[in-house]
Amino acid sequence: MCGIAGYLTAPGERPAPDPLEAMAASLAHRGPDGAGYYRDERVALAHRRLSIIDLSGGGQPLANEDGQIQIVFNGEIYNYREHRRELIRKGHQFRTHSDTEVLVHLYEEEGERLPELLNGMFAFALWDARRQALFLARDPLGKKPLYYASGVGPLEFCFASELKALTLVPGFSGAVDPEAVIDFLALGYVPDPHSIFRDVHKLPPGSSLTVGRSGMRLRRYWAPRFAPRRDRDVDGTIEEIRDLARDAVDRRMISDVPLGAFLSGGVDSSAVVGLMAEQAPGRVRTFSIGFTSKEYDELEYARLIAGRYRTEHHEQVVTPRIEEMFDKLVEHFDEPFADSSAVPTLYLARMTREHVTVALSGDGADEIFAGYRVYAYGAIESRLRDRLPGWFRRSVVRLAGEVYPKLDFLPRVFRAKALLRNISLEIADAHFHSRSNFTEAALARLVAPELRRQAADYSPLATMRRHFEEVSHLAPLEQMQAVDLETWLPGDILVKADRATMAYSLEGRSPWLDYRMAELAATLPGEFKVRGLTGKYIFKRAMANWVPDRLLWRPKMGFSVPMAEWMRSSLKPLVESLVLRPEMDPYVAPAEVRRLWEAHQSGLSDHSRPLWALLMLAAWDARWRGKALEPAAELMARAGPGR
């Protein structure tokens, strides 16, 4: 795993000062094992290396035989050995055993079809001097990040693995995108292809970008194609999933450095460990985080799997206070990011890196095979929606949802308000409200009037509706999954996994996000994925060989933290010093923020999700504007012990 950066200029021109070394240095955590640079009269490329494969010979930038092609690459290619054998057969000569060199020669053979032939996680930039073109690509599902901008200062074009590197380019404006701020407040992340800055974009998953003499050309080379096959039988599908699972895990165990696995005690990571144990020559190393609060602790289940497979197990029990991780969180995520499960993920990555350089995870199965509650409930809501007349839903059911008390303090089973509201809405609106921190009306009250004006009354809900319109030919379950694969997965889940692991120079690999697994899952009928309130049904059946029933069918816990309690204890001084300051007024209406804060402090309402989003926005803003902040640990200590 690595960090890449670079830029294009007009022929013969160079920015002064040249930002290339500074851009690379800002990515040192992604590649602590070395740095490399390439420059000619048109292009500059930088690479920071985390050595995983071919430790002595895989340095970058890497060129073909005549030096006309240069590449900087971040990620891993899991089918590089097959391509290497075929390229040697065709006469290509290799100087290294790295997967990176395969890309150079494969580009010589296939040109811009290159990313279509790769199984892996990747983001790369390839300079073709003969065509005077820079070719960039990102893996099918968006596991590895790639930011870019055009016309920044003296540069025609620039790119980097992380946003922080682009902010070092002379002339970077730093103009905040008001639509991105509104998206973030609604969703807790800034969805692709936008970034928090108006002039910077993310290369979308499964896409390539060519920058050449004729300008920029963006191409989508892969997207999931949902086409459920009614001829599928359960037993045959289970065997197909098992065969592919074995291969996906086996490919991700290729490494010249120590390798292990995250083990949460859930189905997905437990199955990965079971498959690794089946194929590994020695004991698998596993890593788990536990919490002093039993409500959030799954160590009992992780230990069960560790014992079953006799792994070399490492675990750490932490008091889930955020003091020591808050600054790390803000530093490494670059944009506002409000998925609070990033906190325990950082703890897990830190502990794991003390023992290994590569860790396999169970990420992706919930998205690919519909494991989240939102899919099961969404499918039920869609069936109820179809059985009720539209006028009845929009009047009687909607009114019932409005008057039904919002009993946040009761167990979920007693909270019918969201169900009634979602049935009264169309599927896009219901899914938005399930994923959002705010209703559309609440968001309108929160956003500062001037920001709304700058954004021309931009609506994240309208964007969600457009996503659903594009897949309206699909069944409701497939619609939700397809939209989440475009938004939630690359914008939230994969950002969290990448930034948290890379903060500690740890490479994370996700077998369930093999694009072949996604293509297989897209052919499954809905009842194969969701049955009643059980998600990932066929996946769980397939994993029964490796995961005991006690774990296989237990309710999903998630990687959670006690955010509601934090907001009333250890986080109070941080919120009061950052969120309630006048500098936030350009973003949000102070009266509405104060109302949310006081309602949460009363204990009668749980506004922890929106308040955490506001805190992340405030901390990002303060950091970006260079405000000298008191360390979070010192500030929080004034609140005394958290719960």
User: How confident is the model at residue 642, as a pLDDT?
Assistant: 41
Task: Name residue, tokens 């955020």.
Answer: 322
Q: How far apart are CA 376 and CA 605, in angstroms?
A: 26
Q: Are 462 and 429 in contact (CB under 8 A)?
A: no
Q: HSE-up of 640 (CA within 13 Å, CB side)? A: 3
Q: How far apart are CA 6 and CA 18, in angstroms?
A: 11
Q: Are 103 and 136 in contact (CB under 8 A)?
A: no
Helices (H), 111-261: 163-166, 178-187, 234-251
User: How confident is the model at residue 640, as a pLDDT?
Assistant: 53
Query: Is 2 one of the annotated active-site residues of the chain?
Result: yes
Task: Map out the domains of the chain with their CATH numbers.
Answer: 2-220 (3.60.20.10), 234-369+487-552 (3.40.50.620), 373-478 (no CATH), 563-637 (no CATH)
Q: HSE-up of 322 (CA within 13 Å, CB side)? A: 31
Q: Mean pLDDT per segment of 10 residues, for the chain of length 643 residues?
A: 90 84 96 93 93 73 94 96 96 92 97 98 97 97 97 93 96 95 98 97 98 94 94 96 98 91 95 96 93 77 96 86 82 94 93 96 96 90 71 59 50 53 80 91 95 95 97 96 97 97 96 98 96 94 96 80 87 92 95 96 93 96 74 58 41
User: How confident is the model at residue 377, as a pLDDT?
Assistant: 87
Give residues with Cβ within 8 angstroms of 482, minimum separation 6: 224, 226, 471, 474
Task: Give the max Cα distance, the chain.
Answer: 73
- Where is 44: in which H helix or E strand? strand 43-49
Q: How far apart are CA 386 and CA 480, in angstroms?
A: 16
Question: Taking Cα atoms as reference points, which of 364, 405, 335 lies closest to residue 620?
Answer: 335
With b for 16 or more beta-carbon neighbours within 10 A and e for fewer, the 370-381 pattern comes to: bbbebbbbbbbb
For 602, other C-beta atoms within 10 Å of its C-beta total 9
Which residue of the set 1, 2, 497, 588 is catalytic? 2
| 3 state SS for 339-399 | CCCHHHHHHHHHHHHCCCCEEECCCCHHHHCCCCHHHHHHHHHHHHHHHCCHHHHHHHHHH
For 419, other C-beta atoms within 10 Å of its C-beta total 18
Q: How far apart are CA 556 and CA 478, in angstroms?
A: 21
Structure tokens at 294: 């039993």
CA distances from 61 to 37, 68, 126, 472 (A): 6, 12, 9, 44
